[in-house]
Amino acid sequence: MASLVIHGGAGTIPRASFTPESYQAARQGLADALKAGWKILSSGGLALDAVEAAVIALENHPSFNAGHGAVLNAAGDHELDAAIMDGRYRNAGAIASARTIRNPIRAARRVMEASDCVLLAGAGADAFAREQGLDIVDQAYFTTDLRREHWKRADEERRGLLNRERSEAEKHGTVGAVACDDLGNLAAATSTGGYTYKRAGRVGDTPVIGAGTYAANGVVAVSCTGLGEYFIRRGTAHDIAARIRYCGETLDTATAAAIAELSADKCGAGLIAVDARGAIAMPHNTEGMYRGAVTADGQISVGIYAVDFSPFDA
């Protein structure tokens, strides 16, 4: 049974800070990404194509920390990470610390399909994307007023001038998609700008296959969100697959165990996953997680906080 699940990061804006307009814009962005992916799945297309389409839509939406709307590092620049994995063959591609690629997930897929590498970084990733004819943009394309404000608050915090703690949404965020198609194929895709004021050159879990992104047919597809260092140390995405494959755990049990371990690390975290039967999981330990899913009948549901996951009919 075909399934599609997406996330826009576990770092959500505190409910009191959300305007009705920004709240609706985020929900609309999630719904549009689901529609982009479901259009492919509902016509018999591949899970791989569906997760790429969904993540492209999220990268293009300013509400999320990927592509247009990505956070700024300590130097005031954007460094973008992305990964995609095809569960059919366990092929994968990723890019890290890219600076000029309009849609990093497109570049990750091209690394998988048109190179002999799994991961390309920095100037090498940008050059490869250019060679492949992908859209190249100036850094200014990624920047929004909101991300400038988040950078300013992080800089004030570093200098001891901030009079309140920054929210999770001001610190980090990620987007991702996992899918199971009608043939039972699984795929995962993840994209991020990292975390606000990160050290230049820092790479998180998103492009590390098995940490923030993983897919294997017959087992599970996973995309993670949170502070990447914890996911890398634990190999979280692959650990979930191993629990299911070798221990016979259910999807819910395996994903809940992963979040419990991250909670023990005091890491704000979330993830989405889909198994070989099309069952889905969306656990998180934060106040909320931007998330959405499509049921077999095409009903789209989205949510931001723990209690607002509901059908989206607009």
pLDDT tens digit string along 74-105? Answer: 999 999 999 999 999 999 999 999 999 999 99
What is the share, in percent, of the chain residues with pLDDT greater than 90? 83
* Of the candidate ranges 57-71, 240-254, 287-301, the one whose mean pLDDT is the lowest: 287-301
Average predicted confidence (pLDDT) for the chain? 94
- For the record, the structure tokens of 112 come out as 């998988």
pLDDT interval class at 40 (50, 70, 90): very high
pLDDT at 162: 62
pLDDT at 19: 83
Residue range 131-175, pLDDT digits in tens = 999 999 999 999 999 899 989 988 887 776 666 666 666 565 899
pLDDT at 129: 98
Which one of 12, 100, 143, 174 is the catalytic residue? 174
pLDDT interval class at 218 (50, 70, 90): very high
- For the record, the structure tokens of 33 come out as 């990404």
Cα distances (angstroms) measured from residue 145 to each of 71, 137, 242: 11, 18, 42
Strand order in the sheet with 220-226: 213-216, 220-226, 269-275, 280-281
- CATH topology (fold) of 3-306: Glutamine Phosphoribosylpyrophosphate, subunit 1, domain 1 (3.60.20)
Rounded (5°) CA angle 89-98-67: 85
pLDDT at 313: 75
Stretch 194-211: mean pLDDT: 96
Please indicate whether residue 190 is annotated as part of the active site: no
pLDDT at 141: 98
Q: What are the beta bridge partners of residue 190?
A: 83, 176
Is-contact 258 275, C-beta < 8 A?
no
Q: What is the pTM of this model?
A: 0.96
Q: In the predicted model, is pLDDT for residue 178 greater than 80? A: yes
Between strands 91-98 and 119-121, the pairing is parallel
Query: What ranges do the domains of the chain cover?
Result: 3-306
Q: In the predicted model, is pLDDT for residue 314 greater than 60? A: no
* Of the candidate ranges 7-11, 177-181, 196-200, the one whose mean pLDDT is the lowest: 7-11
pLDDT interval class at 13 (50, 70, 90): low
pLDDT at 15: 73
CA torsion angle for 154, 156, 161, 167 (degrees, to 10)?
Answer: -20
Between strands 288-294 and 300-305, the pairing is antiparallel
* Of the candidate ranges 147-156, 181-190, 191-200, the one whose mean pLDDT is the lowest: 147-156
pLDDT at 121: 98
